[in-house]
Amino acid sequence: MLACGLLTGCDYTVPLVTTPKIDIERSVLGLWQRSTEDGQTEQLLVLPLDKREYLVSYPSGSKDSMFARACLCRAADQTLVQLKWFGTGEGNVPEDNRVYQFVTYSVSGDRMTVRLLNSEVVRKDVASTHELAKAITANRDNPKLFEEGMVFTKVKK
């Protein structure tokens, strides 16, 4: 559920799933925020599109906001979120087919930790869904499979 920089430079060209089969987890729905190293606040908005897909906006509410469809999927015996970025708050759309990112997450109370699949471990040039899943599985025990976690706190209503 994270950003890929103005919709250019997202990591992958292939999805892990083409049709979502896992129901959404309702604990991730809502508005989340975190403080960056430079003292800024970033917001992450996660809304349900239907029973198996989310709408994600990050950083939500800013001029740089990006939008993705997201769904849960399985790889290497763990649940991941597949993000497909499709546009920005300024109306920009992807310039190429690198629109996919994959993250793992955990929710504990009002905190959510999100970790992005490390494209230095699972190469960006994987050519198929099968190759992507195989690369993730081959690296399942690699402590660098995912980037360092970003911690968000749920915004109270």
On whether residue 13 sits in a domain, the answer given is no
10 lies in some domain: no
Nearest to 17 by CA among 77, 83, 67: 83
Mean pLDDT in residue range 48-66: 94
What is the structure's pLDDT at 10?
80
Q: What is the pLDDT of residues 82-132, one digit of tens each?
A: 999 999 999 999 989 999 999 999 999 999 999 999 999 999 999 999 999
Neighbours of 19 (CB within 10 A): 7
Report yes or no on 2 lying in a domain. no
Q: Is residue 17 part of a domain?
A: no
**CATH, residue 122:** 2.40.128
In a domain, 129, yes or no: yes
Q: Is the pTM of this model over 0.75?
A: yes
Does some domain include residue 18?
A: no
Task: Convert 10-77 into a string of H (helix), E (strand) and C (coil).
Answer: CCECCCCCCCCCCCCCHHHCEEEEEECCCCCEEEEEEEECCCCCEEEEECCCCCCCEEEEEEEEEECC
What residues make up the domain containing 128?
26-154
On whether residue 21 sits in a domain, the answer given is: no
- Tell me if 5 is assigned to some domain: no
Mean pLDDT of 139-145: 97
Question: What's the domain count of the chain?
Answer: 1
Both tokens assigned to 41: 């606040």
Host H or E run for residue 1? none
